Amino acid sequence: MGLPRVSILATTEEAAPAKRAEDKVSDTFLQKLKGFSSDDLFEFLATSIGSLVLVILIVTSVVLTRGSLAVFGKFGFGFLTGTDWNTSLGSESYGALPYILGTLVTAGIAISVGILISLGIAIFLSEMAPSFLRSPLSQVIELLAAVPSVIYGFWGLFVFRFWVRDYLETPLSTYLGWIPAFHGTATGYDILTAGLVLSIMIIPTVSSVSKETMMAVPSSQREAAYSIGATRWEVVKLGVLRYGRSGIFGAAILGLGRAVGETMAVTMVIGGTPGPYVLPTSLLKGGVTLSSLIATEFGDATGIHLSALFGLGIVLFLFALVINVFARLMVWRVFKVTGGIVE
């Protein structure tokens, strides 16, 4: 049984580079085959395994596109702007707008709260912390990243939700309830809680990348600021933050990417049911995000309903792709600059 399979594998591995060589220069084909060493095989094997990432990304986009053809065929771009979510057979109607906005609003809360705390942590760790505190503190923050998201969700649902409800939402709805964004009763089972749980979850990512950026800022920047009589805060502001701003910005976008894709914790605390009324008009309302809707309905969806969920998936895929590519480019730029030109 084992033998024929092995031989098939071996032939495909050797045939493929030969084919590539044929494409390039056909007259040196035989020569190449003769000089084909185990090193070439190793390089080819490593390269093809390395390219697996590319294959995964391409296959993902193909699968999502194929799956969502039906829903885009039926509703066109109305799928992206519609607000209905009717799964009953015969009168089915799907629109993704409330969930796209739900995702953006929760991620927006997460990043605006998360960046402040993360920057505080990063500045403390890279500029101020005494060296005996630095390592244990970063370890603790790394541990925060290791906590599974479902546990954040469970904690959010049974503990954190009540803190948010009692200390944040009740005052907000009592005193600022006239602002549409804080309209509604404080339940703690809503968009605000989801955003805040997310903000905690992205702190490790954002703070560690910003810390790395800040540590990569050459000390000449700080010395220059000190030499013109800057205070400690001014040194951080002018010498470090301004210099590393694109890296910090990249870190924030990276955090945004995490927040957009996060599923479980959000699903557990956001507490809305799909339909036109979960448009995120108030932070104290239950909401639904792209990922939470996929997670809750994928199990029993069929036909065009399933296709609609694939449609949500492709929106999420595109969001994640754009955000992550952008973030990586920002972060890479900083490290390139500090690694070469400036120093």
Partner 1 sequence: MIPLASILFEVVRNGATALSVQFLTGTPALVTLPTGNAALAGGIAVSIEGTLVLMGLTAVIAVPIGLLAGVYLAEFGDNRFGRSIRFLNDVLSEFPSIVIGILVYSILVVGLRVGFSAFAGGVALSIIMLPIVTRTTEESIKLVPRSVRDAAMALGIRKWRATISVVLSTARSGVVTGALLSVARISGESAPLLLTIGTSSYFLSGLNQQVDALPVRIFLLSSENYVSGAQQQGWGAALILIVLVLCLNLAVRIATRGKYGAVRSRI
Distance CA 236, CA 218 (A): 12
Residue 278 near residue 294, CB atoms below 8 Å: no
Burial 226-255 (b: 16+ CB within 10 A, else e): eeeebeeeebbebbbbebbebbbbbbbbbb
Give the total of residues touching partner 1 (CB under 8 A). 73
Burial class for 320, CB neighbours closer than 10 Å (0-12, 13-18, 19+): middle
Q: Which window, 13-21, 42-50, 92-100, 228-236, contacts partner 1 (CB under 8 A)?
A: 42-50
Query: Closest distance between partner 1 and the C-beta of residue 229, in Å?
Result: 34
* Site membership for partner 1, residue 100 (CB under 8 A): no
Of 229 and 340, CB closest to partner 1: 340
* Site membership for partner 1, residue 126 (CB under 8 A): no
Distance CA 290, CA 308 (A): 11
Of 80 and 320, CB closest to partner 1: 320
* Site membership for partner 1, residue 39 (CB under 8 A): yes
The C-alpha angle with vertex 139 and arms to 192 and 125, in degrees rounded to 5, equals 80
* Site membership for partner 1, residue 43 (CB under 8 A): yes
Q: Which window, 24-32, 81-89, 135-143, 241-249, contacts partner 1 (CB under 8 A)?
A: 135-143
Q: Which of residues 191-230 bind partner 1 (CB under 8 A)?
A: 200, 208, 212
For residues 286 to 315, the per-residue mask of contacts with partner 1, x marking binding by CB under 8 A and - elsewhere, is -----x--xx--xx---------xx--x--
Query: Closest distance between partner 1 and the C-beta of residue 174, in Å?
Result: 25
Q: Which of residues 144-173 bind partner 1 (CB under 8 A)?
A: 144-155, 157-160
* Site membership for partner 1, residue 268 (CB under 8 A): yes
Interface residue with partner 1 among 127, 169, 190, 262 (CB under 8 A) is 262
CA atoms within 13 A on the CB side of 205: 24
Residue 284 near residue 186, CB atoms below 8 Å: yes
Query: Closest distance between partner 1 and the C-beta of residue 135, in Å?
Result: 7
Tell me how crowded residue 74 is: count the other CB atoms within 10 A of its CB: 15
